[in-house]
Chains A and B, each alone.
Chain A
Amino acid sequence: MRQAYRIIPIYTADVSGVCSALYELGGMTVMHDPSGCNSTYNTHDEIRWYDQDSLIFISGLTDIDAIMGNDEKFLRDIEDVAEELKPKFIALASSPIPFMNGTDFPGLARALTAETGIPAFSVSTSGMHDYVYGAGLALSEIARHFTGAAEKRKRKLNLLGVTPLDFGPQPMVDAMKRRLEKYGWEILSTWAMGDTLEDLSHAGEAEVNLVVSSVGIPAANVLREKFGTPFLVGTPVEGYEGEISDALEKAAESPCEAFEDKKENSAEKSGAQISGEQEELWKVTPDQVIYLRKKDSPLSGFIPTPDITLIGEPVTMGSLAAVIEQKYRKKVQLLCSLEITEGLLRQEDEVIRGEEAMEEKLKTARIIVADPLYRPICPESATFYEMPHIAFSGRIYLKNLYNFRKTT
């Protein structure tokens, strides 16, 4: 029973991540799926669904389609729709059934490009990873296929890894952007909220990239390889923008070694050919993660009983932890149940697998900041601050999103 979830939900799946990341970019996202649970990624997880159009399609895969491998039907359906709607790209995403069947999505994407002339790519989802994985890979495909040669421009940056699943509605994102703009930074593009595919295509002009959630890491690595753009990891939550701006300035001054190494043989490489081993795509080094740079904090290191416990995504919550520690001199620990945490957690943070382990860990917590759906497994003695996380509770708490409210 250690991995069973009886009370709290799990984070939304990779397929929702793909739909969310590509929602505003004018492409056509096709889920190869029986259409049993598409309300998950279209409505429960998608706060823009009723206000903003997006071309998200479900193939309506049936048992006999899967058995007979009716790939041609899948392709013809997409081609018919693409001819009518003229999307800027076609993104294919897999679900558990085609994953088990071993459907060749990269091959199908190549066939679609050849047939329609529209750039097509696939995201290797299976429905068994969490949203970070799907959204991250989807944005890396955009970086591969749609960014072109560019001259670097001073104090320009891209924000990578921005979806409503982590950041909520657009005003939250605008507020984050303004914090950096106050320090003289111009945000070239935000991947991918509030900007068009055209905006994103100029990403190579940035002198530095800022990964504001773990979703942005693969795109950052692709842009680093394509344009030599250095990147840092950290979210400009309120009170943290100054430190982030300082770090960005230093990073912008440093040449990117990986790019220099590859410059000689990169001439014949097109964006789509960039080597993309999964492990490399998610790689970050400790010097890239701003909130891991503990200069003189007396609070760093192992903490048996933290003052404050945060639960959530490593980059946004890691940055929040850094601000709280600096401002209030309280010991903060982050508990994370997401899949991708390598290189993103501080020494005192912990990866927690399963509801039972989380409940056990929270028994001694005094102050907890987490999505409201965590509350039933928190001890009554703890003070609970609601911090809705759409990737965890969907639209339920949208109205009071990020409205920190002391409830006990």
Chain B
Amino acid sequence: MIRVAVYGKGGIGKSTTVSNVAAALAEKGMKVMQIGCDPKADSTILLRHGKKVPTVLDLYNEKRQDLKLADMVQIGYGGVVCVEAGGPTPGLGCAGRGIITALEKLKETGAYETYKPDIVLYDVLGDVVCGGFSMPMRKGYADKVFIITSGENMAIHAGANIAMAVENFRSRGYASLGGLILNRRNVPREEEKVRELAEDFHTQVVGTLSRSDLVLAAEEQGKTLLETYPESEMAGEYRTLAEQILNACREDGTC
């Protein structure tokens, strides 16, 4: 089982990218599980065509000891197993601890054994703001962390923070850095800046995505681009990225 966590600045396109990569991997015949680790609970929305899925934490809050795996899971486009960790109402509780509990509940209810995914994609909220958001990169969860960034300064800055966290946790047996994914915003010196960031952390830019209006058009329809425009160039880019992620995981044998 390949286990991957994807981090990056809020709004950089993590969920869109992860969902399209999930769809591309599913096309290849892989069993994919995508777990949204964000209180907003919208990571898998394109795969499930906007259909509501109760979050792990909402269900646990309601059912306590009667929590059932089947309630937490919805099968989306391409057979992708969709899960949303969820979190508290903004301004209350503890979202970070929520991520830990949600991932623990998935384990406790046998999610990985039951669905036997070939690959698990953890789509994690913007930054490693507290211990809870490092949970997906802890031992027993993801093996590789990929950071999505553009050439915008704030995205680079967030990417550096995440890479730093991965580096700091090296001795704890956490996930290692798989590489950067450049999601182009077409800002000046974009490739150069992202390449510099990769060099700073002794990693590589494993894939690049173009800025495409088709992605937005697909989102308008509430679907992934792979589903709406499967023959487009952009769909090809997602398929290539999916291969690049798999290759990066397989290269050092950790996945």
Asked whether A51 is an interface residue with its Cβ less than 8 Å from the other chain, the reply is no
Of B57-65, B234-242, B243-251, the one touching chain A: B57-65
* Interface hit among A59-67, A158-166, A313-321, A375-383: A59-67
Question: Which of A68, A100, A101 meets B61, CB within 8 Å?
Answer: A68
Q: Which chain B residues border A100 with CB–CB below 8 Å?
A: 94
Cβ-defined partner of A66 (8 Å) among B87, B89, B91, B94:
B94
Say whether, besides A64-B64, A68-B88, A69-B88, A101 and B101 are in contact (CB < 8 Å).
no
A69 to B92, Cβ gap below 8 A?
yes
Q: How far is B92's CA from A70's CA once the two chains are assembled, in angstroms?
A: 8
CA distance A100 to B96 in the complex (A): 12
CB pair B93 A63 closer than 8 Å: no
Q: How far is the CA of A62 from the CA of B93 in the complex (A)?
A: 12
> Do A101 and B64 have beta carbons less than 8 Å apart?
no
By secondary structure, the A interface counts as helix
Q: How many residues of A contact B (CB 8 A)?
A: 11
Interface size classification for chain B: 10 to 19
Contact between chains at A67 and B89 (CB < 8 Å): no
Any chain B CB within 8 A of the CB of A71? yes
Within 8 A of B (CB), among A33-88: 62-64, 66-71
CA A266 to CA B162, docked complex, whole Å: 53
The smallest C-beta distance from A212 to any residue of chain B, in angstroms, reads 41
Q: Is the pair A66, B92 in contact by a Cβ cutoff of 8 Å?
A: no
Smallest Cβ distance from A82 to chain B, in angstroms?
22
The answer to whether B89 touches A64 (Cβ under 8 A) is no
Q: Is the CB of A67 within 8 A of B64?
A: no
- Judged by a CB distance under 8 angstroms, whether B116 is at the interface is no
Q: In the complex, what distance in Å separates the CA atom of A68 from the CA atom of B64?
A: 13
With an 8 A cutoff between CB atoms, is B98 at the interface?
A: yes
- Chain B 46-59: CB-based contact to A (< 8 A → 1; otherwise 0): 00000000000100
Most buried by B among A64, A69, A70, A71: A64
Q: Which of B57, B87, B97, B101 has the most CB of A within 10 A?
A: B97
Q: Which residues of B contact A (CB under 8 A)?
A: 57, 60-61, 64, 87-89, 91-94, 97-98, 101
Known: A63-B97, A66-B94, A67-B97. 19 other contacts (CB 8 A): A62-B64, A64-B60, A64-B61, A64-B64, A66-B93, A67-B57, A67-B88, A67-B94, A67-B98, A67-B101, A68-B87, A68-B88, A68-B92, A68-B93, A69-B89, A69-B94, A70-B61, A70-B93, A101-B94
9 pairs of residues in contact across A and B, judged by CB atoms under 8 Å: A64-B61, A64-B101, A67-B94, A68-B57, A68-B61, A68-B98, A69-B88, A69-B91, A101-B93
Q: Identify the A interface with B (CB < 8 A).
A: 62-64, 66-71, 100-101
Listed from nearest, the 8 A-B pairs whose CB atoms lie closest are A69-B92, A69-B93, A67-B98, A69-B88, A68-B88, A68-B93, A64-B61, A68-B61
